[in-house]
Copies of this chain bind each other. A is one copy, B any other.
Amino acid sequence: MRDVAQLAGVGIKTVSRVVNGEPNVSPATAERVRQAAASLHFEPDLHAGNLRRADRRSRTLGLLVSSVANPFAAQVHRAIERVAIEHGYAVLAASLEDDPDAELRAVTALARRRVDGFVVTPVRDDQAYLRLHVERGTPLVCVDREPHGIETDTVVTSNVEGARDAVRHLLAHGHRRIAFLGDLERIQTAGQRRQGYLDELAASGIDVDPALIVLGLHDDASATAVARRLLTLPDPPTAIFSGQNLVTIGAIRALQQLGLEHDVALVGFDDVETSDLLKPRVTTVSQDADRIGRLAAERVFARLDGDTSPPRHLVVPTRLVVRGSGEIRAPLAAPADVG
């Protein structure tokens, strides 16, 4: 900037004014400055300016997603970035791979880079440590999962309701023995989806068979193994509700291996890519990742714009997408019932 000022024959502050579009610069001077800046390929240093600027905004958002392996996270990222760009913001992203230590490291890294706001997918058991940053004026929005130890804006999927929808759908097609395959228990959404499953069965007065409930599945291989085991029980489930997309893929593979994909019903939580190319096509409870990301980003910017209202907890509804696998009817009378 000093060089630009010298070349244009003006003071350094005048260059600053032109670069930032401040008023009170004569058109002739402004033009000379612009020429000089262009010929030197000057790019202002955002962070240096930040140091002195009144608003102290780095115009950068910090984003922590659970796992990049998950297309859901990629879509949330994309939606956030779109909103960020509209506000002239860039996004510093870090993927946590569901590692609690990575969460801490990433928050520190972002704090040192003075991001203006955090969008976090909680992984640790406790997010109280984030209070510090919030108290210092860095807004925090949690997505996908509710945080612990801190009251803040959240944007989550209606996990319990979505799971109930799935189970209700299966019940309506005559199923009574419905298995639930879920992700690691420490992941909050896994627990909520199981809760929805239990709630809906309870509401329909159906006894729950604990043997049909398996949690702790985090990849498709383990899901395949467990699904195979359940399906070869003496009294197997007539339907499966899988609580996460990799688990759904594992369940499909198991069904295919046993040749049961047209006999046992399946509803998966969260979309599976190409789910409509499979046979049968896969019925899913779809999450609106785009909306979740958009709302989260908008919450951050609202807080940055001075919104000090109490924390909001936004719940984005799911949508049951009927494609075929969930509409397979239960056998008219299960052996156990006939007894």
Contact = CB atoms under 8 A, between A and B. Distances in A.
Interface in A263-283: 272-279
20 contacts: A41-B132, A43-B112, A46-B113, A46-B114, A47-B48, A47-B50, A47-B58, A68-B75, A68-B77, A68-B81, A81-B94, A81-B95, A90-B110, A90-B113, A93-B93, A253-B277, A272-B273, A273-B274, A278-B278, A279-B279
A81 to B, nearest CB: 6
A214 interface: no
Nearest to A256: B277
A47, A94, A252, A275 pick with most chain B CB within 10 angstroms: A47
B277 A47 contact: no
Nearest to A115: B90
A197 B199 CA distance: 56
Nearest to A276: B253
Interface in A233-273: 249, 252-253, 256, 272-273
B46 A48 contact: no
A276 to B, nearest CB: 8
Contacts of A50: 47
Contacts of A275: 274
Interface in A98-129: 105, 108-114
> Copy number of this protein in the oligomer?
2
A130 B44 CA distance: 17
A81 B63 CA distance: 13
Given A74-B68, A278-B277, A112 B60 contact: no
B93 A47 contact: no
A92 interface: yes
Contacts of A132: 41
A228 B63 CA distance: 42
A105 B84 CA distance: 13
Given A74-B68, A81-B95, A274-B278, A47 B253 contact: no
Contacts of A74: 68, 71, 74
Interface string A172-197: 00000000000000000000000000
Nearest to A69: B78
Contact of A92 (B44, B60, B69, B279): B60
A297 interface: no
A85 B102 CA distance: 10
A43 B111 contact: yes
Interface in A53-94: 58, 60, 68-69, 71, 74-75, 77-78, 81, 85, 90-94
Interface string A32-56: 0000000001011111101100000
A280 to B, nearest CB: 11
Nearest to A272: B274
Contacts of A105: 85
A182 B75 CA distance: 25
Given A43-B108, A51-B51, A108-B43, A93 B91 contact: yes
